[in-house]
A = this chain, B = another copy of it.
C-alpha cells in the first residue's frame, strides 16, 4: 500500500527510465532529424531516436547528453527537456518511461560516429521520416511543435547556424522550420531592430553573386525576448 511520498510501507516500485533525443539540424535547406538503426529487438532494423537508459549515478540531463555523444561528436549543444512519456504500454518489453529532449546543432559542428559496426546513424528530413520505433514519431512531432513555437520568441534558432552567418541563411532557417516563406525586407528589419546581431567586417563570397554581409549573434547564449517575439506565429 502506498499513499504519498515515501509512505510506502516497505514496497517501493522502481522503473526503467529512458531518455530520447530529437536532434535537429539544417542540411540542404531541409530540417533534419538524427535517427539510429536499431540492432536489437524489439524493432530490430527500425530507425529510432538516439537514446538510452538513465544510469544509476547520472542525472537525467546527463543521460540525454551522453546518448547524443554516443552517436555524434559534438561539443556545445543546445539541449532542452521536452516532455516525459509515461504511458503503460509504450514499450513492448514492459514498462519503460522516457524523458524526451530536443537538441539543435549546426550541421558543420557535428559528425556522426557512423563507423561503428554496431550502429548506423543518419539524418532524415522531418517531412519524410521513415517508419520509426516505439512512439518516436509522436516525440518528433512534439519536438517540432515546440521548436516552431519557440523560435518565435526566443533565439534558439541561432543554434542551427554557424557562428557567422548571412541574413539570408538566417531567414532560410526560419523558413525551413516554420515551413513557410517570409518576406525578406520585413524579416531583415525585424531581426536588425532586435539589436541581437553584430555586423561583421567580413563578407561571404559564394559563387558569382554579390557577397553577403556576415553577422554574429551578440548574446552569450539563447535569450528569451520579452517583446512581441521574432516572427509572428501563424
Closest to A20 in B: B5
Partner of A60, one of B14, B60, B63, B86: B86
Confirm or deny: A117 has a beta carbon within 8 angstroms of a beta carbon on chain B: no
Confirm or deny: A169 has a beta carbon within 8 angstroms of a beta carbon on chain B: no
Q: How far is the CA of A87 from the CA of B64 in the complex (A)?
A: 12
9 A-B pairs with C-beta separation under 8 A: A2-B52, A5-B52, A6-B40, A12-B53, A13-B16, A14-B16, A81-B83, A226-B233, A228-B232
Interface residues on chain A, size class:
35 or more
Given contacts A5-B53, A228-B232, 6 further A-B contacts (CB under 8 A): A4-B71, A4-B119, A6-B42, A13-B16, A15-B16, A81-B84
Q: How far is the CA of A99 from the CA of B116 in the complex (A)?
A: 35
Chain B min CB distance to A146 (Å)? 13
Q: How far is the CA of A4 from the CA of B55 in the complex (A)?
A: 11
| Chain B hits for A70, CB < 8 A | 3-4
